[in-house]
Amino acid sequence: MTAVLRKHNLCSLRSFLTPQHNLRLYPRILIASAYGLLHTAAEPQHSVEAAKKLVPCEHLEQNQAKPISLAQNHGEFVISVIKSITLKTQLAQVHAHILRTSLVQDPKVSLHFLTRVALSGPLQDTNYARYFFGQISYPSVYLYNTMIRAYSVSNSPEQGFYLYRDMRRRGFCIDPLSSSSAIKSCIKIQYLLGGVQVHGCILKDGHQSDSLLLTALMDIYSQCGKCDEACKVFDEMPQKDTVAWNVLISCYIRNNRTRDALNLFHVMQSGSYKCQPDDVTCLLLLQACAHLNALEFGERIHGYMLEHGYCASKLSNSLIYMYSRCGCLDKAYEVFIATTNKDVVSWTAMISGLAMNGYGRAAIEAFEEMQRMGIRPDDQTFTGVLSACSHSGLVDAGMAFFHRMSEEFGITPNVHHYGCVVDLLGRAGVLDQAYQLIMSMVVKPDSTIWRTLLGACRIHGHVSLGERIIEHLIELKAQEAGDYVLLLNMYSSASQWEKVAEVRKLMKEESIQTTPGCSTIELKGVVHEFVVDDTSHRRNKEIYQMLDEINAQLKIAGYVVELSSELHKLDDKEKQYVLAYHSEKLAIAFGVLATPPGTTLRVANNLRVCVDCHNFMKIFSWVYNRDLIVRDRNRVHHFRGGHCSCSDYW
């Protein structure tokens, strides 16, 4: 028997070692394998000697492939070989070897092998993993788990879910890891129904107290827009750790409940929970502050970060972003200067911040300074620079950057770049050139590009081009309420009421809804939210009284309601009434009511501020002698003494 075994192994060994060039290329693995094979022979001492004869000694010393303990068996040895594999070709060799020796059916060996193929960085190859997995007659739970996990990170995650289901059908004992990987697969493809099924399984398996599983579940509900479900899972968690809180916060941010997200910062630290926010919490909350223009809250987070020594560059860059979006460039710059090792992201954050606030030339200077510091701009840096040019009306400079980008830096323009340039030309009134540029794009123009030009048509009252653009959008099946609103704007500016009625009818038929305007204002770290005609605030009555008073004051100072901002076909008196209660005005009125004279007011709006509100704000800043900082979708407007930082509207 031993003789047969020895003969068999030595044969394998010979076949394994035959090609000389392989020995040169992969000495370590071959030597190791040689040892491994020989160790299974009946007389190990002899085997080692034999191996030394087969494999030149210098290789042995060079690669420190010392003979391992004789007590270890072949399988363990092969595992150590598997662990040392660094190349795909070696992987194939070992694969062939374990097939030949039937080691492939050894659960430990196959698990190690699959792990390397399925999950380990450079060797990762899902197809190979699938092929290998298919060769196992009786896969263990671990092998299944590893395979599901492999699928979940591959580009066919649905397979992970199917395998999980298959595993359950076959009656395997499911452990939390299986379900966790299955959820990951579902998250990747936003497969809510799959997530719900796994949720049911988790309850059936009795894993409903596993925090890690429950956070994964929250995440899938969150990513599929099921905020309430995510909250329910959170509420039922026996132990809520920081990660769970972070998932809840990111869920709120993702699902437009930014204000609730901010509130959690205090709730999580409160008496009953006593959970410490970590660096991820800070990062998420800074994003929320940036959304809401909540400077004071952002400063509070900043203070908390300093207190706890959270100063990773990711957080610095988030701070720069938050301060810029809140219109607080001094602070953004302060953080930027204090950031050691400024990388391309830090520079881009600063450049975009300057651009957003209307400091086009400063943004360009920063761009040049960045290059002097030897930091190479990337595509996003150019998005910042180009938007700086478009916001500041620097047409020639913008076009020059656009050309340099591809010629000098080899960056192919993407939709954002084209968007900026179309915006640049559009604002400058060169609409036809902008149209030509879009038509000449190598990549198919997307709806955003068309929408940008549509916005320019609205500014310049170019109705016929606007109609053509709507057709392009319809062709892309991408028309949104906002597009029709712009078209409506154009028609109503041109008093084409029949067309207005036509478009309204179309919108109603296709049940296209307009996004309601919503403004927020932060006072003492508390964010107050208003929608148009909002009457839900507890100081509602006072707010409307104050707004009426402000309107009266501004009229004395020469403010005239810009009626073209209202789309409805109403008589002028009715229009005035509707325009008077736009959400940004309500927020400003509340600000006046609740702060001492002279306090800067900061308002954020989810849409673009309309022409009438823009005029209102200018005159307000002068009559009430207050600085007013208003952030809409992508710009920060600074109002002071009757002027706006943006010289013209938009």
Partner DNA sequence: ATAGGGTTAG
Nearer to DNA, 353 or 413 (CB): 353
Q: How many residues bind DNA (CB under 7 A)?
A: 59
Q: State how beta strands 628-631 and 526-531 pair.
A: unpaired
Burial of 441 (0-12, 13-18, 19+ CB in 10 A): middle
Half-sphere exposure of 64 (CA within 13 A, CB side): 1
Of these, 76, 219, 260, 299, which contacts DNA (CB under 7 A)? 219
Q: Which residue has the tokens 């979940």?
A: 152
Q: What are phi and psi of 630, to 5 degrees?
A: -120, 125
CB atoms within 10 A of CB 269: 15
Helix (H, G, I), strand (E, B) or coil at 64: coil
User: 475-508 burial, b if ≥16 CB within 10 A, otherwise e?
Assistant: eeeebeebbbbbbbbbbbbeeeeebbeebbeebe
Helices in 271-414 by DSSP H: which ranges?
279-292, 295-308, 313-325, 329-338, 344-356, 360-372, 379-391, 395-409
In this structure, which amino acid lies at residue 205?
D
Q: Does 184 bind DNA (CB under 7 A)?
A: yes
Q: Does 349 bind DNA (CB under 7 A)?
A: yes
Q: Does 293 bind DNA (CB under 7 A)?
A: no
Q: Does 522 bind DNA (CB under 7 A)?
A: no
Q: Which DSSP string corresponds to 220-284?
A: HHHHTT-HHHHHHHHHH-SS--HHHHHHHHHHHHHTT-HHHHHHHHHHHHSTTT-----HHHHHH
Nearer to DNA, 186 or 488 (CB): 186
Of these, 9, 47, 126, 318, which contacts DNA (CB under 7 A)? 318
Nearer to DNA, 279 or 334 (CB): 279
Of these, 44, 67, 75, 107, which contacts DNA (CB under 7 A)? 107
Kindly write out the interface string for residues 7-36 of this chain, putting x where it contacts DNA by CB under 7 A and - elsewhere.
------------------------------
CA distance 638 to 644: 6
Q: Which residues contact 83 (CB under 8 A, 6 or more apart)?
A: 112, 116
Q: Which of 290, 297, 335, 295 is nearest to 313 (CA)?
A: 335
Q: Does 278 bind DNA (CB under 7 A)?
A: yes
Q: Does 256 bind DNA (CB under 7 A)?
A: no
Of these, 119, 192, 531, 578, which contacts DNA (CB under 7 A)? 119
Q: What is the nearest approach in angstroms of DNA to the Cβ of residue 284?
A: 6
Of these, 176, 225, 525, 642, which contacts DNA (CB under 7 A)? 176
Instruction: Strands of 94-214 (E only): list them.
Output: none
Q: What is the nearest approach in angstroms of DNA to the Cβ of residue 232?
A: 16
Helix (H, G, I), strand (E, B) or coil at 565: helix
Q: Does 313 bind DNA (CB under 7 A)?
A: yes
Of these, 48, 243, 399, 512, which contacts DNA (CB under 7 A)? 243
Nearer to DNA, 178 or 615 (CB): 178
CA distance 401 to 422: 14
Of these, 246, 258, 390, 621, which contacts DNA (CB under 7 A)? 246
Of these, 378, 480, 533, 627, which contacts DNA (CB under 7 A)? 378
Of these, 81, 283, 288, 601, which contacts DNA (CB under 7 A)? 283
Q: CB under 7 A: which stretch of 18-26, 62-70, 112-120, 433-441 binds DNA?
A: 112-120
The residues of the shown chain that bind DNA, judged by CB under 7 A, are 107-108, 111-112, 115, 119, 140-142, 145-146, 149, 175-177, 180, 184, 187, 210-213, 215-216, 219, 241-244, 246-247, 250, 278-281, 283-284, 287, 290, 312-314, 317-318, 320-321, 343-345, 347-349, 352-353, 378, 380-381, 384
